[in-house]
Structure 1
């Protein structure tokens, strides 16, 4: 099945993208939030199937020299396991080349997948979450 890749945010139905994130599952991300974060990202890719349905998305926040941060990589369940997620991350890494560091935020349990793509565990990563209790429950943060 042929897939079409684009970085054009003007082609995106933000409700459809929000649905993709729920199904992937990466949580509930409101359409208006997705419009903001993808609009503010230096790099982004969207993938459509032959029927024009959005089946994958991903983005990277980058400053052009020092740091590129890959996040929000989502693949529709019916397309998971096909190499599409690997291709998404590989493309985001490629457009991020030239930055001194490329950082990736992972869903707990997916670290092995990203390790195969060249990522290594950060020993000094720290975070502040708006909803700390949920982040601890989902395995993103250590409990004190």
Structure 2
């Protein structure tokens, strides 16, 4: 089937997108949470097949300094088709002109992102809503 690429949130079935993130598995993100997050992101990218969203990603960006790629997910039934790669390429291209393009990876997936030129940062730090969960997931050191 042909993939339809969209950069607009028009016509997105947020409940279906929420289910895709759960299955990917990128966590439980409610339909309302996703609608808010994508609406407030400067760049969005969706892949549709037969009218159903099968991959998505977004970038929170300010237009000059920093673009942060996040929530990149591909439906498990469609993984291995290059959709994740295409989303990253599209978001990186839209983010060109920013001084830095940042993402943080699911632990263990860093080599995939390195193929796009992403390099490990030595000074990146974060405040997590649930630091114990972030530590268990391998995102931060315990402590």
The TM-score normalised by the length of structure 2 is 0.98
Structure 2, unpaired ranges of 5+? none
- The 3-state SS of whatever aligns with 2:58 is strand
Instruction: Identify the residue that residue 19 of structure 1 maps to in structure 2.
Output: 19
1:96 to 2:95 alignment: yes
Cα offsets for 1:45-100 (capped at 9, x unmatched): 11101x21110000000000000000000000121111110010000000000000
Instruction: Identify the residue that residue 4 of structure 1 maps to in structure 2.
Output: 4
Instruction: Identify the residue that residue 86 of structure 2 maps to in structure 1.
Output: 87
How far, CA to CA, are the matches of 1:80 and 1:121 in structure 2? 25
How far, CA to CA, are the matches of 1:106 and 1:29 in structure 2? 17
How far, CA to CA, are the matches of 1:117 and 1:80 in structure 2? 18
Structure 1, unpaired ranges of 5+? none
Q: CA RMSD in A?
A: 0.7
- The 3-state SS of whatever aligns with 2:140 is coil
Cα offsets for 1:107-132 (capped at 9, x unmatched): 11110100111100011110111111
How far, CA to CA, are the matches of 1:80 and 1:108 in structure 2? 18
Number of equivalenced pairs: 143
Instruction: Identify the residue that residue 48 of structure 1 maps to in structure 2.
Output: 48
How far, CA to CA, are the matches of 2:14 and 2:123 in structure 1? 34
How far, CA to CA, are the matches of 1:26 and 1:132 in structure 2? 17
